[in-house]
Amino acid sequence: MTTTRRPFLRSLCALAAGLAASATLGLASAHADVLANVHKNGTLRVAVPQDFPPFGSVGTDLKPRGYDIDMANLIGKELGVKVELIPVTSTNRVPFLTTGKADLVISSLGKNAEREAVIDFSTAYAPFFNGVFGPTDVKLAQAGELAGKTVGVTRGAVEDLELTKIAPASTTIKRFEDNNATISAYLTGQVQFIATGNVVAAAVNDMTKLRRLDAKFLIKNSPCYVGIAKGETALTAKVNEIIAKAKQDGSLDAIAQRWLNAPLPKDL
Amino acid sequence: MAYQFDFAPVLQHSDLLLTGAAFTLALTAVGAVLGIGLGIVGALCRAWKISPFDRLFGLYVEVIRNTPFLVQLFFIFFGLPSLGVKMTEWHAAVLAMVINLGAYSTEIIRAGIQATPRGQIEAASSLALTRLQTFRHVVLRPALTRVWPALVSQVIIVMLGSSVCSQIAAEELTFAANFIQSRNFRAFETYFVTTAMYFVMALLIRQLLMRLGQRFIVGRPR
């Protein structure tokens, strides 16, 4: 049943996306300058996650906290306005922007062609990648050097599929049932390296000092961008300027250190 | 329209399935031999009350029979490295199988030994059999003859239970099935083939062990 229903669902989704896109274009031309409105109202409305640590979660004081919240506050401070945080989920974060309910989406948003058709993106503000992680004192710069080594990975995850393609034949890839088993295998020394997401590695480093996870090389890169309504060039330029300045003066690096436990990658 | 069955993507990986089945069979073979060996020692200690080993085996049997196999396996693979005991997934899987089967077979064989009437052992000594001869012909052989079907069933249970070794990345049959399923998402076909393979393997092992038992333990009718 499901196999036949899917194409229909997909075309329905495409139709909905198309409608949303055309509606956005209409909206964007209708009320012109979000940046001017933000200055006029004195508040910046930012859509942030609250279910995705370390980017956004609810702290013990019941206030949102995380990389994305710090980023929102940084932009608000630079603009000289108050920040109003709007909690969103990963499915409704783009609609919040296209319907004008938020001025910016800072919600660990990755870039892809479908999204680019509907909204604009700033420059990247946070690293988000899958890679191979391992002990600090072991050198490993690329997939080719995995020859003869043992890497743990969660079976069927993106890392598994990609690593299977790029690792040399003599690499032992141990596939575990879930993330916990993969991490335990590394922490107990059953594998030399693991392939996982940088966010997972940061969370593990935060929770235990048993064996540190250091990024060795990248498997798949998908950094986070600030989402901005289509055609808001003035706002996009301003946000890009703020991100560039924050990268320069080290304030973005401080946020990365605080939430990801690792410095900002040079190529970001 | 109904689900379209397609076994081709699964059979494409038949080499993986066969390697996995071989791993499972090897694991079962080593586990069964060492496990039953451990069981015989344990059963003797318990049946003849050889102190302090009878108490130790009693504790061992209770601990292993009252905890899940998966937890025992995790303890060996993920727990022991904290004490500096590190082993590969193959060694961890074999060790877990031996320990698990050892506990169950201790109790099964003990039942067989205790069913041997005391008078037979007295008869053996009055016939001037040595201790070893008595043990071999009067104690062990009749005991194993009595409990052999139960022991064979236990070996098959452990063989089927070895599927959880996939959790520590031991590449046995279930691991192969999970791996294939994670690549082609043909869950029904993959697990259908795997189930059939386990079924055939279990039948073959039962046949083989029953024949071996008849030949070497029960003995030919004289």
* Residue B135 contacts A where some CB pair is shorter than 8 Å: no
Place of tokens 């798949």: A220
Q: Establish if B77 touches chain A: CB-CB under 8 angstroms.
A: yes
User: DSSP labels for B106-162?
Assistant: HHHHHHHHHTS-HHHHHHHHHTT--HHHIIIIIIIHHHHHHHHHHHHHHHHHHHHHG
DSSP A264: P
Residues ≥6 apart with Cβ < 8 Å to B22: none
DSSP string, A56-72: EEE-TTSSEESHHHHHH
* A94 & A152 share domain: no
| Domain with A76 in it | 15-128+224-260
- Peptide linkage before A54 cis (omega within 30 of 0): yes
- Tens-digit pLDDT profile for residues B37-81: 999 999 999 998 998 999 999 999 999 999 999 999 999 999 999
Q: Is residue A199 part of a domain?
A: yes
pLDDT category at A26 given cuts 50, 70, 90 is very low
Query: What are the residues whose beta carbons fall under 8 Å from the beta carbon of B196, sequence distance 6 or more?
Result: none
A149 and A170 housed in the same domain: yes
Residues A36 and A70 in one domain: yes
Does residue A219 contact residue B206 with C-beta atoms inside 8 Å?
no
User: What Å distances lie between residue B62 and A110, A142, B41, B103, B151, CA to CA?
Assistant: 54, 50, 16, 8, 18
pLDDT at residue A2 tops 50 = no
Would you say the ipTM is above 0.85? Answer: no
Q: Give chain B's mean pLDDT.
A: 93
What confidence tier does A261 reach under pLDDT thresholds 50, 70, 90?
Answer: confident
d(CA B215, CA B220): 6
Quick one: pLDDT at residue A119? Answer: 93
Which of B4, B77, B83, B163 has the highest number of chain A CBs within 10 A, making it the mutation to test binding with A?
B77
pLDDT at B174: 95
The predicted model scores a pTM of 0.74
Q: Any chain A CB within 8 A of the CB of B170?
A: no
**Domain containing A139 — which CATH number?**
3.40.190.10
Give domain status of residue A152, yes or no: yes
Element (H, E) at A148: none
3-state secondary structure of B67: coil
Provide DSSP, A199-258.
HHHHHHHHH--SS--EEEEEEEE--EEEEEETT-HHHHHHHHHHHHHHHHHTHHHHHHHH
Mean pLDDT, rounded, of chain A: 87
pLDDT above 80 (res B85) = yes
Q: Look at residue A76 and tell me if it is in a domain.
A: yes
Chain B contact for A64 (CB, 8 A cutoff)? no
Share above pLDDT 70 across residues of chain A, in percent, rounded to a whole number:
88
Strand order in the sheet with A104-109: A82-88, A43-49, A104-109, A224-229, A119-126
B178 and chain A in contact, CB less than 8 A: yes
Residue A103 lies in a domain: yes
Q: What is the pLDDT of residue B172?
A: 95
B175 interfacial to chain A (CB closer than 8 Å):
yes
- Give the orientation angle of helix A67-79 with respect to helix A233-249, to 10 degrees: 110
- Residue A158 pLDDT: 85
Question: Does the distance separating the beta carbons of A181 and B168 come in below 8 Å?
Answer: yes
Q: Are A20 and A118 part of one and the same domain?
A: yes
Q: What is the pLDDT of residue A29?
A: 44
Q: Which residue from A152, A175, A184 is facing B179, i.e. has the nearest CB? A: A175
Mean pLDDT, residues A103-114 taken together: 91
> Chains A, B: CB contacts under 8 A, how many?
46
Are residues A147 and A37 located together in one domain of the fold? no
A149 and A123 in a common domain: no
Q: What is the DSSP letter of B169?
A: T
Residues in B touching A188 (Cβ below 8 Å):
77-78, 81-82, 86
The whole-angstrom distance between A156's CA and the closest CA on chain B is: 5
A9 falls within a domain: no
Distance CA A151, CA A163 (A): 9
How high is the pLDDT of residue A10?
58
* Structural domain contains residue A4: no
Query: pLDDT value at position A106?
Result: 96
Q: Per-residue pLDDT tens for B178-222?
A: 999 888 888 899 999 999 999 999 999 999 999 999 988 887 655
Closest partner residue to A155 among B3, B4, B178, by Cβ? B178
A184 touches chain B (CB under 8 A): yes
List, for residues A168-226, the tens digit of each pLDDT value.
999 999 999 888 899 999 999 999 999 999 988 988 888 888 899 999 999 989 899 99
What pLDDT was estimated at residue B182?
86
Predicted confidence (pLDDT) per residue in A123-141, tens digit: 999 999 999 999 999 999 9
Query: How many domains does chain A divide into?
Result: 2
Pick the CATH number of B26-218 from 3.90.1640.30, 3.40.640.10, 1.10.3720.10, 3.40.1190.10: 1.10.3720.10
Is residue A40 located within the same domain as residue A168? Answer: no
Q: What is the pLDDT of residue A3?
A: 45
* Torsion of Cα atoms, A133 then A138 then A142 then A148, to 10°: -100
Domain membership flag for residue A201: yes
Residues A73 and A141 in one domain: no
Q: Assess whether A211 and A233 both reside in one domain.
A: no
Instruction: Please answer whether residues B147 and B112 qualify as being in contact, where contact means their C-beta atoms are separated by less than 8 angstroms.
Output: yes
Q: Are residues A67 and A188 in the same domain?
A: no
Give the pLDDT of residue A226: 96
- A63 within domain boundaries: yes
Which two structure tokens, joined as six digits, stand for A87? Answer: 């909690």
The DSSP code sequence of B83-113 is GT----HHHHHHHHHHHHHHHHHHHHHHHHH
Residues A217 and A107 in one domain: no
Inform me whether the C-beta atom of residue A193 falls under 8 Å from chain B C-beta atoms. no
HSE toward the beta carbon, residue B198, CA cutoff 13 A: 20
Q: Which residues pair with A205 in a beta bridge?
A: none
Residue A207: the pLDDT is: 83
